Structure formats: structure tokens, C-alpha cells
Amino acid sequence: MLNRITALFDIEYPLIQAGMVWNSGWELASAVSNAGGLGLLGAGSMYPEVLREHIQKCKAATIKPFGVNVPLLYPDIDKLMQIIIEEGVQIVFTSAGNPKTWTSHLKEHGIKVVHVVSSVKFALKAQEAGVDAVVAEGFEAGGHNGREETTTFTLIPMVKEQLDIPLIAAGGIATGKGMLAAMILGADGVQIGSRFVATPEASSHQAFKDLVVEAKEGATELTLKELAPVRLLKNKFYTDVKRLYETTATKEQLSALLGRGRAKKGMFEGDLEEGELEIGQIAGLIHEIKPAAAVVDEIISEFQATKLPEL
């Protein structure tokens, strides 16, 4: 499947596993890379030395390319970037911040840089900053989202119309048919997150994975927009947030309710009541936990086998 994305990353399939906090450790990233996609470590939930450990273990587990996703708002980001350079990582996906801050520095060290955006405006800013590709993510996606609430099927063709560099679609994609649809709309590849949560290799808690498999249509909602928009599974914490909104919640009150460590408590430690459970709308189509390599094979096989219906 030679195209602009497979050529850019030297991978077999234009399929990237998203770097998700508390889900994307070395076992998942290496498994996806070994299966022909591009695995990403989620540095947003890692202390600098923990990231170094995951990079080293990933290098030992695969000879295929892999990368690191780095939220640009990370407090010790200079330490993360130094470790990435020291360990010889060749691919970095940045998100949640200004791509101009680090793109040039990373590229000076021979690193390919991709930035995640939620609008045409920010896609063009990322291109101007010199990134090698852009991930355009619709608001169906799990975790932290843009404020525009633009769906993937609307966003991809609008970005494609104005972008010159390779385009990766994300948000609401978990199947080969979804991958095909995104690429028909103009994407050169896809980034998939939620589907890889429901794998044995994901570093998240088993209880969270089981809940993802049980999720049905309407099980998630985008909330906390005053702080940083995030799509969550509906649980007790979500209900507490909703009740606070009913009292005309202030930003300070929402921040106090959120506190610290909610995402770790939910996704990593398995507290399904008080934790923050980040997953995309596509969870309603995820019905079983299976190995990451099997997920890649299933998606690519369906992608290649799907024919457009005759009119």
C-alpha cells in the first residue's frame, strides 16, 4: 500500500495507532508496528524517565518504525524532547499546542513531525510551521478534542481542499470500511485510537477495556469545554460534572471537581465510578478485545475487500 504516508514513515499500511494517555505503552506500540502499522507511545501520561524506559523497550521489541505522541502543554516537555532525541526516535506526533514551538528543533535532529489539529485554520498553521503531515481529528474522537465540534466527514475534505502535505484522518474510525471512507474523502491514512484500547497490549486497566466493549451508541459525551474539551464515557464522575453544569458552573468549580489524576484513576487504575474514562463515539462498534495484530489485520483486510456498491 505505497502512498504518501507509508512512504513518509516507511511502514506497510497507512494506519497509525494513536498515542493515548494511559493506554499506549511499549507493548501496544511495538505490536502495531510489527503488524505493519505505525505504533505511537503516549508520552502525555509518562514522566520523562518512564518515557525513556518505554522507548528502550519498544526498540527491543520491534525493528519497525514507531513514534511518540507528545502533548505540547506537558509541563516538562523540554525533558521529554531531549530524551526523544537522545534515544534516536525518528517520528514525533505533537498535539495540544503551537507546532512552531518544537517542529524546527525536532527536524534539525532528523525527526519527522506530525501535528494533530481540529480545524482547517490550525492545519494550515501546522503546515506553515513545517510539519511533515497533519492529523485532522473530528470531534467524534475520544479524549481531548478541539472546540469546533466539526465531524470527521466534514473536516477531512475541507482540510484536503487547502492542504499540500499528507493528511491523516482521525475520529470515529475503527474499521476497514471507515478507513476506506476517510481515504475516499481525501485522507492519505488514518489514525485509530479507541479500537486499540480494547486489546491485551493496551496499558490501560482491564475493567476499563471491558467497559469500552460494553459501550453502546450514546455512551459518550464531549464535556468540560471551559477547561479542555474531552469526550468521556458516562459514569458517576460524568454525572457529577453534568449536575455541576446545571448550577451554572464556573471554570474554577469545574477545575476543582476535576482535580488531579482523574484520567489515571479511571483508565489506568480501573476506578469506573470516580475516574475519567476517555473513549470515542466509535466504542459502540467495538465488541471484543483482541490482539493488536489481529485488529490491524482485520482493518486492512476489510479495507482491501470492500467494494463500492453498484448503482
Q: What percent of the chain has pLDDT over 90?
A: 89
pLDDT of residue 22: 94
Q: What's residue 310's pLDDT?
A: 73
Cell numbers representing residue 58 in the block: 519498544
Distance CA 159, CA 183 (A): 13
Segment 114-126, tens digit of pLDDT: 999 999 999 999 9
Mean local confidence (pLDDT), 8-28: 97
Position 39 confidence tier, pLDDT thresholds 50, 70, 90: very high
Question: What does DSSP assign to residue 38?
Answer: B
User: What is the per-residue pLDDT for 147?
Assistant: 84
Instruction: Quote the CA–CA distance of 74 and 93 in Å, as a whole number.
Output: 13
Burial class (CB in 10 A: 0-12, 13-18, 19+), 61: middle
Q: Give the pLDDT score at 1.
A: 87
pLDDT tens for each residue of 226-273: 888 999 999 999 999 999 999 888 999 999 999 889 999 999 999 999
- Mean pLDDT, the chain, as a whole number? 95
Cell of 204: 490501560
Could you tell me the pLDDT band of residue 12, with boundaries at 50, 70 and 90?
very high
| pLDDT of 308 strictly over 80 | no
Provide the greatest CA pair distance for the chain.
56
Grid cell locating 150: 466539526
Report yes or no: 224 and 250 within 8 Å, Cβ to Cβ: no
- Entry pTM: 0.95
Q: How far apart are CA 137 and CA 151, in angstroms?
A: 8
pLDDT of residue 260: 87
Confidence of residue 280 (pLDDT cuts 50, 70, 90): very high
Span 65-73, average pLDDT: 96
In this prediction, residue 212 carries a pLDDT of 97
pLDDT tens digits for 159-194? 999 999 999 999 999 999 999 999 999 999 999 999
Pairing of β 220-223 and β 230-233: antiparallel
Which of the four pLDDT bands, split at 50, 70 and 90, describes residue 307? Answer: confident
